[in-house]
Amino acid sequence: MTRTPNKTRPKASTFGVAQIETRPATIEEFLAQQHDQDLLRFITCGSVDDGKSTLIGRLLWEANQLFDDQLATLQKDSKKYGTQGQDIDFALLVDGLSAEREQGITIDVAYRFFATSKRKFIVADTPGHEQYTRNMVTGASTAHVAILLVDARSGLLTQTRRHAYLASLMGIRHVVLAVNKMDLLAYSDTVFKGIQDAFENFAKPLGFEGITAIPISALKGDNITERSVNTPWYNGPTLMGFLETVSPSAPVRKDTMVFPIQWVNRPHSDFRGFSGTLAQGSVHVGDAIRVTSSGQTAQVAEIITMDESLSEAVAGQAITLRLDKEIDASRGDVMSLAQTPLETTDQFEATLVWLQPEVGLSGRSYDLKLSTQWASCTITSIKHRVDINHLTQQTAKQLQLNDIAVCNIATSKPLVFDTYQRSPTLGSFILVDRISHATVAAGMISHSLRRSQNVHRQALTLTRADREHLNGHKARVVWFTGLSGSGKSSIANALESHLHTLGMRTYILDGDNMRQGLNKDLGFTDADRVENIRRLAEVAKLMVDAGMIVMTAFISPFRRERDMARDLIGAENFIEVYVNTPLEVCEARDVKGLYKKARAGSIPNMTGINSPYEAPLTPAYTADGSQKAIEQTVQELVQLICV
């Protein structure tokens, strides 16, 4: 494949006359030209149909980046899918998915590389639809500049404001406000100025270093690479002129080395190294390094790449560090220079962008990935949701798809961290659903919570093993789950009575009893049910530490919360008992009259009627609460507990 022609090629012009751009005649000249060029990453974003894909297609065309076969395909596809009649539809250069071409929208993030004589570029075309906000966040995470397109006919829309806020949140400091489709409004300077003023007023709190407004027509080419005769009232840069000259904000804290370990490299018994990508700072042979989690130190004996050994490595390089002595470190650990140690925390405030239709709830447990570190975590509180249109704070009890909210998060173990503003590597994370393994949120850390550094675990003289020895049996949690009226409390009571006769120390945590005291402030919404189970699990954990056998008789309808309890208490101490009684049997019993009230509509969140129950997939024991005799069930559970 070749470009047409190799040396010169007519370039589209807003003046209606072909302009000739001279290009290197040989590959050697081309490589020499690009050797010292820097790389600028930018995104195009904004509301749907504002012309993002068309703009990128125009940039590729103007930069003379199309091969012969691409040009032929573009001309063919423009006739089949295009929206510009017999003219070229530049959007088709970027909208590569068949669904995108059929619907005329962008769905996935499309990355394109191109270069001019002054700079190399990687552009991410991000979707405009609100449902694909997560894709926009992905594209913005590595960008230096955001081109925010606005349809001159529509002005600022909710999604325009959302993308501006997200760009600020992801650390982008330079924004181009590209007011597009000016040709459809006779290139009105009044319209352009009104949109520019409205955006600058909106964006004042967002902290952008620079906002450059440019009137353009992506379709016609106005002010893309050449100043347009249609906008004589505009004296700012062209879009390409801005991209070629803007200086992206320099990364913060270059002096701090951050090396997340991705792999312990041990090809044979005589070599042990730690492999990963140097995320921040630099490292030299002879530097003293520290493993943050353990505090162990060593010196760098060798820095190895795929091709050679180096005396120095800088951020962005994939390297293996061989140290002068053996230390205990593995995947998930983070190394730093010994003289500039990194901080850890297990509680912090962060801004979350919620990425899934399933709601996020305070108290629910998720898996958290920060760099190469993994931990389970809980959203301990949702402090407020951000109103995109007005940049105000709103109260929220749960997180909906595309919500942006400030939350407090607690992790199961201390993690190496920094604020996102200072270190995107150690300040950004994702939350992963523990059941579906889907990424549910992207987060940016604001700061560690002060109380996490003021609270320390107190060492106790007596341990759980001492208490178990005194009691004469192992501690366990027998977690009964099932519908209301399934027989959970009856079986738990019978089991406790039998264990008591055997001389075992026991206690029942019953759902109704807990709601009369510790959980009396909670209702029956999904969020309250999650918090109800979280508190129960914490109490059960303390009682296991006391060496007791604890029985919990709660509906506990959600698998996630039961899994959270198992992880908190320890799988080896957790016996999940599913009391499998059909709904019609439970409803026929209706000991407390709850089903009757639910059918009448007076109980809006009755499990099994108008609120879901998620049965265990692999319980340790399944009890038949409708037919099997309680005595037989108790005998079988005793055998399970006393193993």
Q: Give, to the nearest 10 degrees, the angle between helix 158-169 and helix 133-140.
A: 40
Instruction: Report the distance separating Cα 258 and Cα 418, nearest Å.
Output: 10
Give the side-chain half-sphere CA count within 13 A for 268: 1
| H/E segment holding residue 491 | helix 488-501
The residue behind tokens 């630099």 is: 282
First to last CA, the chain: 71
Give the side-chain half-sphere CA count within 13 A for 372: 20
- Where does residue 499 rank: exposed (0-12), middle (13-18), buried (19+ CB within 10 A)? buried
CB 494 within 8 A of CB 631: yes
Instruction: Report the distance separating Cα 625 and Cα 285, nearest Å.
Output: 68
Closest-CA residue to 372 (of 231, 263, 210, 511):
263
Give Cα 640 distance to the centre of its chain: 41
Catalytic residue (one of 168, 556, 611, 626):
556
If you compute the radius of gyration of the chain from its CA atoms, what whole number of angstroms results?
Answer: 31
Is the Cα torsion angle 201, 202, 206, 211 positive or negative in sign?
Answer: negative
- Tell me the β-bridge partners of 409: 348, 379
Give the side-chain half-sphere CA count within 13 A for 422: 14
| H/E segment holding residue 454 | helix 450-454
Instruction: Report the distance separating Cα 120 and Cα 144, nearest Å.
Output: 13
Known active-site residue 556: yes
> Which residues are part of the catalytic machinery?
556
